[in-house]
Structure 1
Amino acid sequence: MSTVLDVKGLNCPLPILRTKKAMKDVAVDGVLEVLATDPGSVKDMEAFCKQTGNELLETAEASGVYTFKIKRKA
């Protein structure tokens, strides 16, 4: 089961800051699903995962809403 973080309507850097904060509450190997509308969040989430060692499982876009599934590592 994944936790959902809704950051729709927020612009950089808020989606990443909220994601970083929310990841602290996700168990190791747990998944955080992030919903965002900021197109810049696509590159931001990729960079965030590389920086933090978390795994970006999936990125999708539908009707202007970007969905990211991030698996917490360590």
Structure 2
Amino acid sequence: MVEQTTHFQPDKVLDACGLHCPLPLLKAKQSLAGLAPGQLLEVRATDAGSWRDIEAFAEQSAHRLEAREQRGDIYHYWLRKAEGTSS
């Protein structure tokens, strides 16, 4: 599945390229913790497992996966930090 989404303006970009499971997800969680509620994080990863991991994380957390897409060998994710959360 490829979702074309290039119009987002992230507040922070996390380059997790070259990191293997579970590091892209762990780094994304750390980055979200440093954002204010409502801010947008873009995650870039090369680990194919991040496709399901980040989606599952968003479904189980209050954070929202706004979009995701694959461009070549790089997976891009846009996660919005949940309102009313400090972590």
Task: Please indicate, yes or no, whether the TM-score normalized by the shorter chain is above 0.5.
Answer: yes
Higher strand share: 1
* Aligned residue type for 2:20: N
Q: What runs of 5+ residues in structure 1 fail to find an aligned partner?
A: none
User: Does 2:19 correspond to 1:10?
Assistant: yes
User: Structure 1 length normalisation: TM-score?
Assistant: 0.94
Structure (1 or 2) with the larger CA radius of gyration = 2
Counting only pairs closer than 5 Å after superposition, residues 1-74 of structure 1 correspond to structure 2 as: 1-2=9-10, 3-73=12-82, 74=85
2:3 aligned partner: none
Q: Percent identity?
A: 36
* TM-score (normalizing by structure 2): 0.81
Structure 2 unaligned residues grouped into runs of 5+: 1-8
Root-mean-square deviation (CA, aligned residues, Å) is 0.9
**How many aligned positions are there?**
74
